[in-house]
Structure 1
Amino acid sequence: MTSTTSTSTASTTTGRAAARVVDAVKVYGAGDTAVRALDGVTVDFPAGRFTAIMGPSGSGKSTLMHCAAGLDTLTSGSAFVGDTELAGLEDRRLTLLRRDRVGFVFQAYNLVPTLTVAENITLPLDLAGGTGDPDWIDALIDVVGLRGRLHHRPAELSGGQQQRVAVARAFASRPEVVFADEPTGNLDSRSGAEVLGLLGRTVRTTGRTVVMVTHDPVAAAHADEVVFLADGRLVDRMTDPTADKVLDRMKAFEVPS
């Protein structure tokens, strides 16, 4: 594997991992129709960092995120959030872990249309029967720039503003790690850049961790590090990415016609 000075194929990074997988294998189907979506991936996602996962279509990037987040199970290998191995949890404990220690941001904003911005932000906490940390939530509202929109409903917001609400909701419970799956996929370039800048700013100002799946080199350039997958395998890591460096790396995956 050819690598530039800004890349490393090492599977570990210094410091604590907010989430990680070890020898991760995920197979869908059986027999001749079996698809090996992950093929022995070992990778960590350092705490307090913004990591992007990239790769060609079918490379396993969304599968990796889903298994690392406890939304799907591995065929073999291990997945951890902090020091907790997900495979060892029964359903209720896994549900509690996803609620209390993991946040999610998806391409669809998934806001409740009848609730205000403030109510959407605290909805997971309300459903859990808690109130969270009022000072944390108050500071978070300023980080995402929603102070003047708290009493608006989703239909009164732009797409970028709605995704800001979704980001605030994901961080409201002070999770150890937030997983974002193509969070700018439904946004125009300007709104997308604002949301990506917001994710990076939230990592820096709150010390939280973000792991984002994206197909866009410009989006990946907002991260501290990019993890590259191909054919279900970890093939490279790039620190301090730029859009051009990520695009050049992605071109290496293209199959000549």
Structure 2
Amino acid sequence: MTTATTTRHAAGVTDAVKVYGSGDTAVRALDGVSVGFPAGRFTAIMGPSGSGKSTLMHCAAGLDTLTSGAAYIGDTELGTLDDRRLTLLRRDRIGFVFQAFNLVPTLTVAENISLPMDLAGSKGSRDWIDALVDVVGLRDRLHHRPSELSGGQQQRVAVARAFAGRPDVVFADEPTGNLDSRSGGEVLNLLGRAVRQMDRTVVMVTHDPVAAAHADEVVFLADGRLVDRMQSPTADKVLDRMKAFDGKGAPS
């Protein structure tokens, strides 16, 4: 019996299987994946096209259901929740950042950031929001609307909104996919600062080794299975690992 401290996971899946379709057309997107995402860490999920990385994120975040196995947020198994409780859990304990910014065009930056709390009927912490606005560098844009912002600024608003309610974990799905390299780098740096300066947890799906290098750890999937994990990644190490999947160079 060991006395070692067990790592606390903000989210994770156990023996996760996800099958789309049936019969001869069935696609096994996840094939018995077990992985935990440590609290207070920045984890990237990578893999070739069709590896199951987005499916893993969607199931871990409660946006899709598993065919078998279990998905957890903290100690809560998502499969035990009815639709209402699952909706409340996603609202209160999970943040989302997507490739499309998904801002409400008629609302100001300040109103977009506070939208999740407004929908929940919660005032939230003014000090937390103020600190968050400073981290994402938007204080001089609070009264602007999304159409008055650059793509990078809009994604920073989306990141601030995701963290506004102090969720247990923020899932980011290709958050730099619509951004140029400079704006993308700013968003990745900000995700890293939220983890390290504000003790948040981020799980990010990406196809970009440079983006993955901002994470504390990279989880690699191939053919719906967990095939590797890399601590303290660099872009070159991640790229070399990705090349090994198919011998054809960088994934598409």
* TM-score between both structures, scaled by the size of structure 1: 0.94
State the superposition RMSD in angstroms.
Answer: 1.2
User: 2-side partners of 1:192 and 1:58: how far apart?
Assistant: 23
Q: Does 1:35 align with 2:27?
A: yes
DSSP-derived class of the 1:24 partner: strand
Q: Does 1:249 align with 2:249?
A: no
User: 2-side partners of 1:203 and 1:94: how far apart?
Assistant: 25
* Counterpart selection for 1:82 from 69, 74, 83: 74
* Counterpart selection for 2:220 from 198, 222, 228: 228
* Counterpart selection for 2:119 from 127, 148, 151: 127
* Counterpart selection for 2:152 from 146, 149, 160: 160
User: 1-side partners of 2:145 and 2:154: how far apart?
Assistant: 9
Matches within 5 A, 1:64-79: 64-79=56-71
* Counterpart selection for 2:169 from 150, 168, 177: 177
User: 2-side partners of 1:27 and 1:97: how far apart?
Assistant: 24
Structure 1 unmatched runs, 5+? 1-12
DSSP-derived class of the 1:107 partner: coil
Query: Paired residue for 1:216?
Result: 208
User: 1-side partners of 2:229 and 2:201: how far apart?
Assistant: 17
DSSP-derived class of the 1:252 partner: helix
Query: Paired residue for 2:93?
Result: 101
DSSP-derived class of the 1:253 partner: helix
Residue identity matched to 1:126: D
Q: CA, structure 1 residues 224+207, in 2 after alignment: closer, same or farther (shift >3 Å)?
A: same
Query: Paired residue for 1:5?
Result: none
User: 1-side partners of 2:248 and 2:156: how far apart?
Assistant: 39
Matches within 5 A, 1:182-193: 182-193=174-185
Residue identity matched to 1:113: P
Q: CA, structure 1 residues 188+41, in 2 after alignment: closer, same or farther (shift >3 Å)?
A: same
Q: Does 1:46 align with 2:38?
A: yes
Deviation at 1:128, TM superposition (A): 1.4
Q: Deviation digits for residues 82-136 of structure 1, max 9, x if unmatched?
A: 0000000001000000000000000000001111000000011111111111111
Query: Paired residue for 2:130?
Result: 138
Q: CA, structure 1 residues 14+241, in 2 after alignment: closer, same or farther (shift >3 Å)?
A: farther
User: 2-side partners of 1:237 and 1:255: how far apart?
Assistant: 19
User: 2-side partners of 1:50 and 1:14: how far apart?
Assistant: 18
* Counterpart selection for 1:206 from 194, 198, 204: 198
User: 2-side partners of 1:60 and 1:250: how far apart?
Assistant: 14
Deviation at 1:255, TM superposition (A): 4.7
Q: Deviation digits for residues 43-102 of structure 1, max 9, x if unmatched?
A: 000000000000000000000000000000000000000000000000100000000000
Structure 2 unmatched runs, 5+? none
Q: Deviation digits for residues 199-222 of structure 1, max 9, x if unmatched?
A: 001111111100000000000000
Q: Deviation digits for residues 232-253 of structure 1, max 9, x if unmatched?
A: 0000000000000000000001
Q: Does 1:17 align with 2:16?
A: no
User: 2-side partners of 1:49 and 1:129: how far apart?
Assistant: 29
Deviation at 1:256, TM superposition (A): 5.4
Query: Paired residue for 1:8?
Result: none
Q: CA, structure 1 residues 256+243, in 2 after alignment: closer, same or farther (shift >3 Å)?
A: closer
User: 2-side partners of 1:171 and 1:145: how far apart?
Assistant: 14
